[in-house]
Amino acid sequence: MLELPFQKERMELNTRLMIWRELAESCGITTLQQSLQQVWKLLLLCLICRVCFRLGVSPTVKHFVSMLTGMYGLFLFLELHILWVLLLSIICYLSLLLCRHSSNKGLFLSAIILVYLLIGELHLIDMGTWNKIRGSQMVVAMKVISLAFELDRRKVENLPSPAEFLGYVFFVGTVVFGPWISLSSYKNALNGPKLSYLWLYNSLLRLLKSQICLLVSTCIAPYLFPLFLPIYGNSVTQKWLRAYENAVSFHFSNYFVGHLSEGTSMLAGAGFTEEKDNIQWNMRVVNLLSVEMPRSMVLVVISWNIPMSQWLKTYVFKTSMKLGTFPAILVTYTASALLHGLSFHLGAVLLTLGFLTYVEHVLRKKLAYILSACILSRPCASDCSHQHKKGYAAIHTIQRWSELNWASHWIIFACWIFCRLIQ
């Protein structure tokens, strides 16, 4: 009789292991096969583009290679619906030519793009098609608006030629899954460093992370409770467990796209920094830990899509700061909502985040001043004037672990899994 609880626990573990194996065969393998079937041609195009950039051909030829590979990559996913993205690009370039002597190109192009997106979504394009092309439309719109503001600010001296413009807009590493990159980053990719093990390793690592996130989103998160975590809940807590499962699935689908875009960008030659001949392939689109274990809601918003947060801060928030901090925040989140499309759900979520982040920022700023403590929305610099810096040691430790890719923690986790399997 004393062995019954142990036998029951062993039977439950065996049953769970059998279900895990069936889930891996029915969901995991199928999901990975479908994912690789859809992206392998795009990855090959990124590699071709990277190799062509290293051949020493003229910049015009490189622009044409970037444009043609990007268009073909888009065609693989959108088919003839690519014409809508091409139409937006042509309209934007003609608009830039029209206002090339103006000092308000950024605002003018923003208005043109907003009108195009609204008319396209409401009158010209059916919802199914719009949802397919929305991501690429958004990337193109962000690139063109950033270019227009850079021309206004004299950071880009002259309007790019049609070949350079289309090469930048349709750069194969970013045009399908993103992210936004600046014109200077695109030019750096054209004259990027030589092919190396470090480049290939970091590109493949990001692609591997994307597939892991896809598996979590598709095959693990929907069955999280109680199949993977033995928490059963009751009539009161069950809805919260289901809501958490949905949130995890949604989060990891975003991480999948983010890491995939990191991989395609770096594979095509973008996403590196160079300091004193030391090249680092360190493009970051998402930061999983800062979203799942955040310091503040501000860091959640930033870490959800780092390049887009940078774009919104540089070209929307700073431009509208003359209206005041809170109006500028509202304008920024409204711009983000409009770029994503006319969705009440998304708009309501983004505007709610705007209120939350503003209130949290103001509260933390006042408390940091009163308590003289490092409790701002963002981590303080090591030489800040606050007296209480207790959190620095924790941040320093986590940073060191992160630099080593949490290797010891992964080893401990693998040992724990092995221990559970041999019971």
Known catalytic membership, residue 340 = yes
Residue 374's H or E segment, with its range, is: none
CB 121 within 8 A of CB 338: no
Q: Which two tokens stand for residue 354?
A: 């705007």
Per-residue HEC secondary structure of 117-141 comes to HHHHHHHHCCHHHHHHHHHHHHHHH
Per-residue HEC secondary structure of 47-86 comes to HHHHHHHCCCCCHHHHHHHHHHHHHHHHHHHHHHHHHHHH
Question: 3-state DSSP call for residue 274?
Answer: strand
- Rounded Cα distance between 337 and 330, Å, is 10
* Residue 422 neighbours by CB under 8 Å, 6+ apart: none
Contacts 24+ apart (CB under 8 A), 64-69: 64/163, 64/167, 65/167, 66/167, 66/168, 66/170, 66/171, 66/172, 66/186, 66/190, 67/163, 67/166, 67/167, 67/170, 69/45, 69/172
- Rounded Cα distance between 179 and 210, Å, is 14
Distances (CA, A) of 371 to 293, 368, 386, 387, 391: 24, 5, 8, 8, 14
- Rounded Cα distance between 78 and 132, Å, is 7
| Residue 330: burial class (beta carbons within 10 Å; 0-12, 13-18, 19+) | middle
- Rounded Cα distance between 199 and 384, Å, is 36
* DSSP secondary structure letter of residue 388: B
* DSSP secondary structure letter of residue 283: -
- Helix intervals (H) in 170-237: 183-190, 197-215
Which residue is catalytic, options 63, 259, 340, 396? Answer: 340
- Rounded Cα distance between 174 and 168, Å, is 9
- Rounded Cα distance between 34 and 80, Å, is 22
Q: Where do the DSSP E strands lie in 349-415?
A: none
Catalytic positions, written as ranges: 340
